Structure 1
């Protein structure tokens, strides 16, 4: 079993049982075994077959620890692509739709407290272009920017015991200007009220706050002053620290809820938050009230042997460390909602994340509704991660191909923006990234028109076009704004650029398929990367850039790392260039 770490690191309970490992797996008329949570199309699943079936079945047996008897037993799934129905001991305990988000079911009344059986039936319509599928290709082979599809369970499965009184969710909203954090939480419907909730906040193992509140209602909030600590002489002493990529300070939190009768702890959750602020001012992006230049990598989140699931938890950590070693301060996740373990390491190591949603391809009102529902689940899951500074939804008008002059698709884009802003006022929001923007906090543009190394004229056009908003249109494939929308002094970020592939022979028949937006010899790459970034850094209107891309993915060979996530170039050479812009 490769994935044994606790799957939900910012909402952690001590008691849990991992159900990852070898399961029975059925597809078509075949019966085999699969290593969960790796999808059957991946090598690490033990199958590695690009199936054509839309319907697959998982089966397994498990036992629940006897000492958990008398508590509510919950089964949790990190993510299953796409629709699924879960059976415990041949009884349906629940269904879920959406391939990017977690779900759980209370299974206590279905247990026999001996050898339990679980069956997970999954439907993943591989050719349905109305469901959020991102880069998962619907044809038989990968090509261009489309990759191998992923069917079924792709994040961890686990059990946990819960008392009747327990936390359903906890949200942290920091305010560095006031030096406070607002803590909101909801107790379970079966909670015994009134009860007390205890909160302990620590910074670098030093207690910052310890208190409790009597709860007469299931949903409550409190605001804690974390930047002030009362000294012995009665004066206030400033102890606050900000979270940033350079100094990723996290405040640790332990929250307990008692049972309402004896005062004994019924539930205990360990979490954390970061005191950080992101906002826009004078056309610039500010982090913690200081202008902050975005140096990002486009990150698809694919691995050669395991596709959209990292082989191990350490792989998430290693990726971020390698990106930072090259002088990047963040990533724009692309067409994929990443595993919470990645976000944990981004929080821990200090790495900005522009969160993304997988796109659908054919617009219908039903597709729009499905997308919006799942996107709200994403925000609810990831609200507490300080590393996330941008919510990004649509990409290059995918799923909304008539958005330029179609009022229905424009309204969908706008509704996404305003809905997110209505529930999270602390982050920046982009409704359509690349072009044909309607409303958003960032003017996000894509351009790969820097020209081949020999094409000095095109490179000059690229460099000059980056110097003003009026000339940006020269290097963007479509209109910057949808009809009826216009620039409103937002920060401008080149959110896709580069895509430089190396002129190297690939193995077997893959040689013809390997590609990038431009190509160059390996020994010339550093000079070419310097030339590209020099044009970007020379632009006074840009607040950052996002280089395409972090790693090679299948036939798309324009990564700074290989498809096995190894450096192609000396990281210090890339960092030297990136460090030229502060």
Structure 2
């Protein structure tokens, strides 16, 4: 395999949380090796001075079972290893360095220069490791992955546990299958994550950022909202890292309405988590829907108000969209389909307070040559264009948490999404813990996407076979519903779909 191969999936992998600072895409050719006898740890394959261990090459981020990986094998290999070198400029070593990967299926240990930097379990959710203390100018990264081929207690979706796919099942996906990259942030302060909660009825958004740092009397957060490059609102907030956000009188909003900013948060909130809101003038309120996928741009900047130094800047976007149910069968119970009106005797799903008829596609999320991984961003865009062209207005992401770039194009092109994680097939204590944990991680990752209007928990009793006869399984299903509803009360939650 030629090492001058074009870099696959070169786009920034996290469109709704984008930094324009230094980042390195680690996709491309890696050294690779199967470890069928599970001897890699004993023989210290992670030792960066170890030679002649990795006999194969693989094109990341494609799994070894796919054609585009360059290996294209459907044999069982429960333990696999990756290795590659990377270089960091001297100036970058003064910053905090993170290693990110969109998804590695299923359990991974990550070694930097021979030392274990961290681990992760879950084949659909992102990995973020602080590797600052492990890196130098010239580096070697080694990743060990364990993907139990026949384990039906792990969330695996439609990945079959037999060698040849059949019936409704598909090939397995092992190892790295989303972009892996390095990014840097300021060593003192950075935005760890945030959620965006739109409220179309009051024409405002709530933003809930979590900020890393010890606090400073001069520390401020600037939030700027634009639409089609036109300024909608800009506010500056003083952060004191004591569970409060302070607003000084000289901090003026661009809009004329008085901003009702939360002065003090609940005492039970974790340190460095904040919540504030930004009003949007009603004449500049543009709703997101399948017919008009209006998106606002948002930037968040942490800076020193005295020195004007910028510590971190994150670029994002959001849609003003509301999901709800009609109050009763007697209200909002008429819906138009093909120019005709139909009466419903059940509650209707409303988007932006209006009934919507969902024409959804069940999308499996497999590509012919690359399986779970879309071969390019253009292939994602083309698939969504076809969905719209054939008259669908949405899709259910079936038994798989999709790539964030895929969700970005759903946001941008106005496609409704039912979010979903792959189910396990057996019911046990371990299967419950694994699924609950990984589903919560997915909700946390995808919370701010306007295209997602519902979360689907279970598919046709998968993971809870015989639930109608087993009280424990029913209790679990109900508990799962309320857990996700407590994490995200803004969307519909479907407990068991398909029957």
> Normalising to structure 1: TM-score of the pair?
0.72
Contact 2:424 2:463 survives alignment (8 Å): yes
Contact 1:173 1:384 survives alignment (8 Å): yes
Contact 2:215 2:239 survives alignment (8 Å): no
Distance in 2, matches of 1:112 and 1:409, equals 50
- Give the C-alpha shift of residue 21 in structure 1: 0.3
Work out the number of aligned pairs and report it.
425
- The answer as to 2:168 corresponding to 1:145 is yes
Aligned residue in 1 for 2:262: none
> What is the 5 A alignment of 1:244-283?
244-259=289-304, 262-281=307-326, 282=329, 283=347
Contact 2:220 2:239 survives alignment (8 Å): yes
Equivalent residue of 2:209, what SS? strand
Distance in 1, matches of 2:183 and 2:86, equals 13
Aligned residue in 2 for 1:297: 361
Distance in 1, matches of 2:435 and 2:205, equals 31
Aligned residue in 2 for 1:225: 279
More relative contact order, 1 or 2 (CA 8 Å, 6+ apart): 2
Q: Note the alpha carbon deviations across 1:128-177, whole angstroms, 9 max, x for none.
A: 00000000001010100011100000000001111120001111100101
Distance in 2, matches of 1:146 and 1:422, equals 32
Equivalent residue of 1:332, what SS? strand
- Give the C-alpha shift of residue 67 in structure 1: 2.8
- The answer as to 2:142 corresponding to 1:119 is yes
Q: Which runs of 5+ in 2 are unaligned?
A: 1-6, 37-53, 242-271, 330-346
- The answer as to 2:49 corresponding to 1:9 is no
Question: Are residues 128 and 250 of structure 1, via their aligned partners in 2, closer, same or farther at CA, if it must alter by over 3 Å?
Answer: same
Q: Note the alpha carbon deviations across 1:225-281, whole angstroms, 9 max, x for none.
A: 1134xxxxxxxxx22110011100001001000157633110000001000011111
- Give the C-alpha shift of residue 66 in structure 1: 2.8
Question: Are residues 321 and 388 of structure 1, via their aligned partners in 2, closer, same or farther at CA, if it must alter by over 3 Å?
Answer: same
Aligned residue in 2 for 1:579: none
Distance in 2, matches of 1:260 and 1:145, equals 58
Equivalent residue of 1:62, what SS? strand
Contact 1:353 1:388 survives alignment (8 Å): yes
The structure that is helix-richer by fraction is 1
Aligned residue in 2 for 1:22: 29
Contact 2:88 2:136 survives alignment (8 Å): no
Give every structure 1 segment of 4 or more consecutive aligned residues whose post-TM-superposition deviation is greater than 3 Å. 189-194
- Give the C-alpha shift of residue 354 in structure 1: 0.4
Aligned residue in 2 for 1:61: 85
Distance in 2, matches of 1:273 and 1:85, equals 34
Question: Are residues 158 and 146 of structure 1, via their aligned partners in 2, closer, same or farther at CA, if it must alter by over 3 Å?
Answer: same
Aligned residue in 2 for 1:361: 425
- The answer as to 2:107 corresponding to 1:83 is yes
- The answer as to 2:424 corresponding to 1:379 is no
Q: Note the alpha carbon deviations across 1:449-508, whole angstroms, 9 max, x for none.
A: xxxxxxxxxxxxxxxxxxxxxxxxxxxxxxxxxxxxxxxxxxxxxxxxxxxxxxxxxxxx
> What is the 5 A alignment of 1:380-395?
380-395=444-459
Which residue, out of 410, 420, 439, partners 2:484? Answer: 420
Distance in 2, matches of 1:358 and 1:92, equals 28
Q: Note the alpha carbon deviations across 1:404-427, whole angstroms, 9 max, x for none.
A: 121111111111111111121110
State the Cα RMSD in Å: 1.3
Aligned residue in 2 for 1:71: 95
Contact 1:165 1:192 survives alignment (8 Å): no
Distance in 1, matches of 2:201 and 2:153, equals 43
Distance in 2, matches of 1:51 and 1:76, equals 28
Distance in 2, matches of 1:246 and 1:212, equals 34
Which residue, out of 327, 336, 344, partners 2:400? Answer: 336
Distance in 1, matches of 2:394 and 2:175, equals 29
Q: Which runs of 5+ in 1 are unaligned?
A: 229-237, 436-582
Equivalent residue of 1:67, what SS? helix
Question: Are residues 266 and 39 of structure 1, via their aligned partners in 2, closer, same or farther at CA, if it must alter by over 3 Å?
Answer: same
Distance in 1, matches of 2:476 and 2:279, equals 39
Distance in 2, matches of 1:383 and 1:147, equals 28
Aligned residue in 1 for 2:337: none
- Give the C-alpha shift of residue 31 in structure 1: 2.2
Distance in 2, matches of 1:371 and 1:260, equals 44
Contact 2:35 2:81 survives alignment (8 Å): no
